[in-house]
Amino acid sequence: KPNRCSHRTSQRKMAWRGCSTLRLLLIRACLLCPLAAEAGLYSSADQVVLLTPDTVASVLRNNSAALLVEFYASWCGHCVAFSPVWKALARDTREWKPAVDLVAIDCAFEENSRVCRDFGIAGYPSLKFFPAHSGSDSKGSDIKGFPRDVLGLRHLIIRKIEEHHDSWPPACPPLEAASKAEIDSTVQTNSMEYLALVFETEDSYVGREVTLDLLQFSNITVRRVLKSERELVSELEVTDFPSCYLRRRDSNFTRLHVLNEARTFYSYALQRLPGVVRSGKSKPVTSDLLQNGTQVQWRPFDRSGVYMSDLESALHYSLRVEVAARSVIAGPALDALRSYISVLAKVNFFSLSLSLSLSHERTLDPTAALPRGVRWVGCQGSRPHFRGYPCSVWTLFHLLTVQALETGSSGPLEVLWTMRRYMHNFFGCRYCATHFEQMAEENMDSVTMLSEAVIWLWARHNQVNNRLAGDLSEDPHFPKIQWPPPDQCRECHGVKGGGEHAWNQAQVLAFLRSHYSAQHLNMTYLEKEVEVLEVLEQPQEHGKRSPGRNGRETPDPAPPEQEEEEVQKPALPRLRRSSIVSLRMRERPPDDIVDLDSFISEHYKAKAVHRAPLSGRIRQVDLQPGDLDPGRGARHWMTVLLGSGFSGLDVSLCVLFYLLSTMCLLGMYLCFKLRCRLRRTKVALP
């Protein structure tokens, strides 16, 4: 009987465990279903339109732009391998969007399977082309054997657009070659500021690509002219194909000189012409730069420089505004703050001297201070809401990656992880922080060398610039470009097979190391040390609000030193040392939590205001009459423990574990005594 009972009991336990496991699996499946909808290979940040059953009619039917749609399955290895090409194609053709757009749908997601079935998708990845103004019954045209590289796909899009007959995309400019008669007519009737002619051979795509690249820009017309148009070629004395000739209103054609005769260099040069702006954006006015939209005086600067004033402003805003926005910092946020300060402390020319544990007081150098307020120079915008703080954050972390490479004081991922954690925990623009996290998840862990960290951050910055070009946040005076441009680093740019632009990463790395070196820092516009200390000594008004998102400035009555927009770096003497931060750490509060109200007021004061050495304070404590207090001994040792790196939580856990251990030992002792007593009282049955 005991055996049968035991067997039944074990069967019931096994059945219960099986049911529990099944229930757990079902619960997990239910929880993962919503996540699967968002687990595709693309996001809206990739410049790709994400198709769902609810958006099929609005996206594919009666569309004003031609559409190239990818049907894929996220579990398909070929689709995963193809996704970087599709993303790169979307970034490369983002300026073509009014005429053509890229779409993607994940057929692996159950809700999308019916859409894929209705369009006859049998394998992945599959491409379909939908002409502009496609009807409700259109299934698109299948593209068999499509190329798997950006260049081939870009040429495929152009060929498909040119196949339009009755449904030419309204926003698409003419792509056919122009004759001399058409050019003469355009010259006489053209109201645009510029007319650009791209001379090329018949099999070249450069002219059509440049025409589409300038699609979103006004005040310029681009046409392609074939080599066979001999009369016009002879008139302008064209000898190279491809080549670009530019005519300004009421002037003659002159050749456009670029670093390489290729699509990227033509498009960049034409988009940067004076008066050429994105459609829908007002033409920049010079007076805007001088007035800056506020009472703040515009500061002329050299665009190729890195200004210490921007770095100081970035630290002021990050520490006194972004970090201070949280009244209490603990857990991962506290670790992120420690990492941020630790990385700053390793930069040689910042001259930092601070405690990284955020727990002990230190005697600090009284000659360094972090000014209050912001003073943008290289990061100033033509309006208060342009550039400013985001620009300075990029500048700061670019500089930190380069300095880590130069000094070898950090691991390959230390600075990148610091930036990632700072963005996640403190950066106010949550969409920006989310997008940076997505970029970091893609391939940040592949960085294995300090030089790779410098290149990784540079490439991600250019990726963000590509995404934000033409956005409402773009400053018309400082458009988002792929940096550095040819006029700043000619050696950084090259051309690979097919005339495609290629970055020379070795030259890019050399440029970045020079650009963000200590010798290249410009100390112009720094405040004098005496003025900084006087401001820091003044008590701050309670409840006084800090600058807005971009760190808007208070009026600066100082007259401008020069009137032109850009100036060469002046050889001015330093107004003060280039140290940026002064920290005076206090004792760690209980439970290892930082009270930011006290942290900001105490830790970031000018060190000149707190010159009393720590040893003096200790000697004073030894002479206090309270030493005779009989209860002071326990409090003293508790203070010693807390001051030695143990938090109140650590001490509490130790006491708790001690009590639990004592109770366990006591229980074992009682159990042992009980068993011994039972043995002595055991009676033998007859």
The predicted pLDDT at position 135 comes to 86
Q: Which residue of the set 79, 116, 244, 492 is catalytic?
A: 79
Structure token pair of residue 563: 């009137």
Percent residues over pLDDT 90 in the chain: 45
Q: Kindly report, residue by residue over 396-408, the tens digit of the pLDDT.
A: 999 999 999 998 8
Please indicate whether residue 30 or residue 343 has the higher confidence score (pLDDT).
343
Taking residues 131-154, report their average pLDDT.
91
Q: Which residues pair with 102 in a beta bridge?
A: 68
Q: Which residue of the set 76, 107, 116, 391 is catalytic?
A: 76
Q: Using CA atoms in the order 173, 176, 180, 185, what is the torsion angle rounded to 10 degrees?
A: -30
Q: How far is the first Cα of the chain from the last one, in angstroms, to the nearest whole number?
A: 24
pLDDT band, residue 453 (cuts 50/70/90)? very high
Q: Kindly report, residue by residue over 13-52, the tens digit of the pLDDT.
A: 444 444 444 444 433 433 333 343 345 899 888 889 999 9
pLDDT band, residue 282 (cuts 50/70/90)? low
pLDDT band, residue 353 (cuts 50/70/90)? very low
Ranges 101-115, 193-207, 227-241, 280-294: which has the least confidence: 280-294
Taking residues 62-86, report their average pLDDT.
94
Q: Kindly report, residue by residue over 513-550, the tens digit of the pLDDT.
A: 999 998 899 988 887 665 666 665 665 554 444 454 45
The predicted pLDDT at position 557 comes to 40
The predicted pLDDT at position 5 comes to 41
Task: Using the predicted structure, report yes or no on whether residue 607 has a pLDDT greater than 50.
Answer: no
The predicted pLDDT at position 403 comes to 92
Distance CA 573, CA 589 (A): 43
Taking residues 626-635, report their average pLDDT.
44
The predicted pLDDT at position 299 comes to 86
30 is catalytic: no
In sequence order, the 6+-apart residues with CB closer than 8 A to the CB of 652 are: none
If you search the block for the tokens 């229980």, which residue do you land on? 667
Q: Kindly report, residue by residue over 472-525, the tens digit of the pLDDT.
A: 888 888 889 999 999 899 999 998 877 788 999 999 999 999 999 988 999 888
Q: How, if at all, do strands 521-522 and 306-307 pair?
A: parallel
Taking residues 361-371, report their average pLDDT.
52
If you search the block for the tokens 């051309």, which residue do you land on? 495
Q: Which phi and psi angles does 249 have, rounded to 5°?
A: -55, 135
The predicted pLDDT at position 61 comes to 86
pLDDT band, residue 244 (cuts 50/70/90)? very high
Distance CA 416, CA 460 (A): 11
Taking residues 351-359, report their average pLDDT.
44
Average pLDDT score, the chain? 77
Please indicate whether residue 353 or residue 49 has the higher confidence score (pLDDT).
49
Distance CA 118, CA 110 (A): 14
Whole-Å CA distances, 187 to 182, 193, 222, 272: 9, 11, 12, 22
107 is catalytic: no
pTM of the model: 0.67
Task: Using the predicted structure, report yes or no on whether residue 209 has a pLDDT greater than 90.
Answer: yes
The predicted pLDDT at position 570 comes to 41
Task: Using the predicted structure, report yes or no on whether residue 580 has a pLDDT greater than 80.
Answer: no
Q: How, if at all, do strands 220-226 and 194-200 pair?
A: parallel
Q: Which residues pair with 196 in a beta bridge?
A: 222, 246
